[in-house]
Amino acid sequence: MKLLFDENVSSRLVKLLTKEYPESTHIDLLNMQGTTDTNIWDYAQNNNYTIVSKDNDFRQRSFYFGCPPKIIWLSVGNSGTKEISELLLSNSEKVKLFINSPTDCLLVLSFPN
């Protein structure tokens, strides 16, 4: 599963999640820090990545443009890297089903209440 982590989450997620999401990368690792959402969107679309972000702009783009790329929106507030990695690991089956879905464009992940 190829995840592209936006710059609003830690690049350490790539290493923490490498076993479950082996083809993932981060904006920083691609030297795309500070680039526009449009450039990130296009890169993900052209390279078959699913964008993972806390940025509401990507959620809105998903509503407006559909997919690809698919978007995993993290509704997690100011949660740290460890909590986000645990959330993605505990939802790996859900993420896999989402990525393989021919119709779903947006997956919202949040912590249980």
Query: Which residue ranges make up each domain of the chain?
Result: 3-110
Model confidence at 78: pLDDT above 90: no
pTM here is 0.93
pLDDT in tens, 48-62: 999 999 988 999 999
pLDDT category at 113 given cuts 50, 70, 90 is low
Terminal Cα-to-Cα distance of the chain (whole angstroms): 27
